[in-house]
Amino acid sequence: MNQNRYTDHKPKIAYLRGSYLNPFETQYLIPLQDNFDIVLGYPKSHRYNLDGITIPRIQLPCLDYFNGIIPRNIEGRTIPNFLKYFAHEEVLFNLKNLTKYFDVIHVPEQSFYFTWQIAKNKSKMNYKMITMQDEVNPFWYLHKPAIAKRAALVRSQTDLFIARSTRAKTALICEGVDPNKIRVIGHGVDTTRFKPGPRNEDLCHSLGIKADRFIILFVGRLFWTKGIYAISDAAKLLLQHPEIKELDPLFLIVGDGNERTEFEERVKQLDIQKSFHFVGWQAYNQLPDIHRLADIFMLPSISTRYILEQFGIALIESMATGKPVVSTHCGAIDEVIGDAGILVQPNDYFRLYHALLKLCLNKDLRIQLGCRGLERVKQKFTYEKISQAITESYNEVLRL
């Protein structure tokens, strides 16, 4: 540990997640406070409600959205950040004064501007640097030379990478990172909250859902990359099947996003709106009960030139409640689900239809896959396992 830091016995960790700081990821850090003094750094212009975070936080001035004066979204629609087009997203100020007190700086992706700021000042400030890698698409930023140049510096200065999936690790290897400098640490859920159980009848009542309705659930952002139009088109075919008509499933759509209006219009165009229920964003503490409403969970993510599904956190939340999942061969999803769900190719409503049909008509298969998913979460994706792995990574870097 560096001798010019604070003199008490606990190493000092600065966790800088930028505008993506959120209660879900910081749950991994709560148990670490016994061994480390952790401070969270985030910009005034941030994306998430941070009220539930109990770890000490420092709000930093930022260039993005003019330091919080301009909102990030209005009525579910994202306000474009023009700085992004100049490769200057996530620009933070006062980092030099903050980082001089810490032994380890834990930063997000190579592409973030402030990650480059941390890398640039590392040799002067004498801290260790851990960089997180969610991205599974190597060199996605090559069409933006400024980001590519900054990312190269970040890779050269990073002491240890934490890859959120094996797929993310392979992206780093493709970019020239030494595999010995990469640790794969995924996401985890609190299995005391996300666990199997009966439907919450009060929740059903508040959402206007019959307690015995067969429910096919989607939780996520309503963007094209989440496969929302594959959902509507697959639903049209599914609802015409004679046995499915008798089952009368409800497609429960939880989330919001730029394409919600268009998605709802597509559902109306297909004349299946009576079988869809859009409830918008729900509080995170409601999600365990929302997942327990489902008979089937689906996340049909789609690949683009620059975007692949990095993990699919909603998948492990649903699996933890014992639900069968349907998803796609997109990004890291395969390694998250394993054999605990049905995977189809992305952007293929026809195969999604067949997967949903198979599960709707086979209760035994739903139970079997639900049990597999629950066991897989217990083995690989609990927040306790993730916390322990992060602890080991911090200690490893401190020994360097």
- 128-181 pLDDT, tens per residue? 999 999 999 999 999 899 999 999 999 999 999 999 999 999 999 999 999 999
Strands 296-299 and 325-328: parallel
CATH number for the segment(s) 12-188+382-398: 3.40.50.2000
Residue 6 — pLDDT band, cuts 50, 70, 90? very low
Domain 201-380, CATH number (from 3.40.50.2000, 3.40.1190.10, 3.40.30.10, 3.90.1170.30):
3.40.50.2000
The 3-state DSSP class for residue 157 equals helix
- Cα torsion 84, 18, 118, 125: sign: positive
- CA 124 to chain CA mean position, Å: 33
Distance CA 59, CA 45 (A): 9
Tally of CB atoms within 10 A around 210: 11
Three-state SS string over 263-317 comes to HHHHHHHCCCHHHEEEEECCCHHHHHHHHHCCCEEEECCCCCCCCCCCCCHHHHH
Same fold, 12-188+382-398 and 201-380: yes
Distance from C-alpha of 163 to C-alpha of 184, rounded to nearest angstrom: 5
Q: How far apart are CA 358 and CA 342, in angstroms?
A: 10
pLDDT reported for residue 2: 44
Residue type, 99: T
Token pair listed for 173: 């290897």
Return the percentage of the chain with pLDDT > 90, whole number: 80
The model's pLDDT over 267-320, given as tens digits with 9 standing for 90+, comes to: 999 999 999 999 999 988 899 999 999 999 999 999 988 889 999 999 999 999
pLDDT > 50? residue 4: no
pLDDT of residue 51: 82
Q: pLDDT category, 85, cuts 50, 70, 90?
A: confident
Q: What is the pLDDT of residue 278?
A: 97
Q: What is the pLDDT of residues 328-384, one digit of tens each?
A: 999 999 999 999 999 999 999 999 999 999 999 999 999 999 999 999 999 999 999
Q: What is the pLDDT of residue 8?
A: 56
Whether 211 and 287 have beta carbons less than 8 Å apart is answered as no
CB 191 within 8 A of CB 162: no
Is the model's pLDDT at 7 over the cut of 60?
Answer: no
Percentage of the chain surpassing pLDDT 70? 98
Report helix, strand or coil for 144.
coil
**98 and 41 Cβ atoms separated by less than 8 Å:** yes
Phi, psi values for residue 37, rounded to 5°: -90, 110
Show me where the domains of the chain are located. 12-188+382-398, 201-380
12-50 residue pLDDT tens? 999 999 999 988 889 999 999 999 999 999 998 888 888
